[in-house]
Chain A
């Protein structure tokens, strides 16, 4: 095994986005001839590390070293010229170009007349596939290739640019078991040829099958880098979680009231399957799970933003019309969506217009909106939520993330809902506002509102929820009460591991 100098070294690297520290002082080496796993919860900083290695982001402090020498990547091109290639979960091929053209993109072989040498291009592609031991026709268009084959084309592309460091960001998320095995055999042969592999996955059986070394991250910090053989899966999970919960605002105990929402057998082909649960007044129910487990999609289907194939949604015993956010609103549902900028707000419009958008109808007299009614309604709700703003007529895009989130909350609380769905309510907002949002949710529940919270932050889930539904790959993997739930039990369920402690 390689104890030669590392091909690539991440040394004491930090990166912040606004007030959020995504990565703080992380160091680890990647050795040639070794596959190295990078694990951590959602938001632990894995993607930020990948983007820094890919040359998309630059570290604020710290250095990256290739072959022992400091490097600065000003662009993805720089990273590539240092032999780093990144394979993303969703490959980014040009669908209408041939496989060979995709592989040669950016450094096409030329004939003496400076024309693209198509024969050499196709020959190169065929040779690369032979070396990888896969059968893909270089002349066929990339469109229509399976995700697995597209990834192999990306790997071939990386080889053609003589990459020695291959970074794979959740490459197996969309692959079948057979495809995973084929990918692994390719990756193993590259490793044996001396390449350094960094492999990101949420599936522990893949990590133990493929990787020699593992780096564990938590909350942007480096926890450990160890040999995989020395760690059990339990050890890894324990090190990924295990945080101080005392700083969070705990939910008040409220005796649950009548059942408001009943979801039965809700399914959508390829997204989620057979989802059933109910929510009572005064209850906070959290949907936990990994990114991509289908949590947001389930709640968007409940609210009617997306369609579903099978099942039913009942509110106060009455069936909700599928695919109609308007019907859901009329029944008393509200959804604070995951993506503030794209789904929650119209950034160019003023704060007051945003707050009153779903309920402008209620503010009219004789069907018309007279001068002050919108402004008064907006002022009432933004003040209740202590939103820091200049003027209500300012574009909502001029506010900070935390205050934008308060505007979204104001917008939906103003509709007077009985069930509030919040999707990642505190993502990307500062600690102070976070606590305010938690306090608000708790007091809303105390007032008899039912709350469904989708969250990737375990402390938030454990601190706020009366019940936790853990989703994994589109299904409910576990339902935990407040007393049963621990960081470990939620993570075990989210990752599909048996509890064995």
Chain B
């Protein structure tokens, strides 16, 4: 297979293509989908998923997972309300929330890499723990009187046009994460860890330390998203972002990242997020109920795990044939 054909056949290229098709078809067949107003809304819907998906991609590439992301978001949202009620300025609350998110991630990281516990179990535990703490902080109430200058910036657009302000944030963070993953030795080491942690260790890669900092980064990003979520809806609540982890993991896997680690690309993940959000947005415009939209997320999640397995099964037999041919050549 030529380099180009291999590119075309890869899962992430396929998902990018599919996303373009879905956007194209939806903008013609779904009323109001292609409007600039809808574009703004879609970007705002996209915002939390895409930002949390960035560190999540890194974590899943190393073969681990972080299911506590939405709860860290909820906890920082709660704390943001509590701090605001207690008279802190918004300028000090925002960095504080990011740090608290990082600390929540640090606890995950310590339990997983320091004590060697499985990340799935640890982050299911902290999923409940952090959400519980969020309710302890704020109870069932909400804090809504955040300054307009901040809430307006989050929901606003550049110069009143169709491009939302937060798109800048998305582009900058996606670029940073993309460059780190695809063009630095650190990014290379993540793939090696995910595909074979022992060989990575033998190659001088500090496996535990690398994973530890990924959880800290994930927590910090969730802290930031907690702030953005609160400002977007102008409401700090303990249940903000509930269930977001499902959408994030679905989008990452849909984007071609292997749940077993070692495979995937950031462009694929970005396409996965856009595809998921666009589908939900289009269905909502067609008056499908919010509850039913979860079905879409669920089905896409299952498909994203199932389809690459089928494709790889076919490709694997082809690959094995090649290995045998190589071995035969060696004997000769």
**Partner-A contacts on B (CB < 8 A):** 3, 179, 183-185, 188-189, 191-192, 195-196, 198-206, 262-263, 319, 322-323, 326-327, 329-331
Contact = CB atoms under 8 A, between A and B. Distances in A.
A305 B263 contact: no
A356 B204 CA distance: 12
Interface in A385-407: 388, 393, 395, 397-403
B331 A430 contact: yes
Interface of A: 18-19, 305, 325-326, 328-329, 335, 337, 342-349, 353, 356-358, 360-361, 363-364, 367-370, 388, 393, 395, 397-403, 411, 430
Contact of A360 (B188, B196, B263, B331): B188
B202 A305 contact: yes
A442 to B, nearest CB: 23
B201 A325 contact: yes
Given A357-B188, A364-B185, A369-B184, A398 B203 contact: no
Given A343-B199, A346-B196, A368-B183, A393 B3 contact: yes
B188 A326 contact: no
Contacts of A337: 202
A347 B322 CA distance: 14
A318 to B, nearest CB: 18
A400 B184 contact: no
Nearest to B202: A343
Contact of A346 (B3, B199, B206): B199
A171 B262 CA distance: 39
Nearest to B331: A19
Contacts of B3: 393
B60 to A, nearest CB: 15
B183 A18 contact: no
Contacts of B196: 342, 345-348
Contacts of B198: 342-343
Nearest to A343: B202
A305 B195 contact: no
A368 B202 contact: no
A364 B201 CA distance: 21
A175 to B, nearest CB: 29
Given A347-B195, A364-B184, 7 more contacts: A18-B331, A326-B205, A346-B192, A356-B188, A360-B185, A368-B179, A430-B331
A393 B2 CA distance: 11
A367 B184 contact: yes
15 contacts: A326-B204, A328-B204, A346-B195, A347-B196, A348-B196, A349-B191, A353-B191, A358-B204, A361-B185, A367-B184, A388-B329, A400-B327, A400-B330, A403-B330, A430-B330
Contacts of B262: 346, 348-349
Contact of A329 (B200, B204, B319, B331): B204
A402 B330 contact: yes
Contacts of A342: 196, 198-199
Given A360-B185, A367-B184, A344 B202 contact: yes
Contacts of B195: 346-349
A6 B183 CA distance: 66
B329 to A, nearest CB: 7
A46 B331 CA distance: 24
Contacts of A356: 188
Q: Which one of B183, B322, B326 has the greatest number of beta carbons of chain A within 10 Å?
A: B326
A326 B207 CA distance: 11
Nearest to B263: A348
A94 B109 CA distance: 33
A400 B200 CA distance: 21
A226 to B, nearest CB: 36
A403 B322 CA distance: 14
Nearest to B3: A393
B189 to A, nearest CB: 8
Most buried by A among B185, B204, B329: B204
A367 B3 CA distance: 27
B329 A400 contact: yes
Nearest to A18: B327
B329 A357 contact: no
Given A357-B192, A367-B184, A326 B206 contact: yes
A356 B191 CA distance: 13
A266 to B, nearest CB: 19
Contacts of B205: 326, 357
Contacts of B200: 346, 357
A310 B323 CA distance: 44
Contacts of B263: 348
A207 to B, nearest CB: 36
Given A364-B185, A369-B183, A400 B326 contact: yes
Instruction: Determine which residue in A325, A337, A348, A356 has the highest number of CB atoms from chain B within 10 A of its CB, and name it.
Output: A348
A358 B203 CA distance: 5
A19 B188 contact: no
Contact of A305 (B191, B201, B206): B201
Nearest to A335: B202
B192 A369 contact: no
Contact of A369 (B188, B323, B329): B188
A325 B203 contact: yes
A346 B262 CA distance: 9
Contact of A345 (B185, B199, B206): B199
Contacts of B184: 364, 367-369
A393 B185 CA distance: 17
Nearest to B199: A346
Contact of B183 (A335, A370, A411): A370
A388 B200 CA distance: 24
A397 B323 contact: yes
Contacts of B319: 395, 398
Contacts of A411: 203
A343 B201 CA distance: 8
Contacts of A325: 201-204
A430 B202 CA distance: 25
A401 B331 CA distance: 11
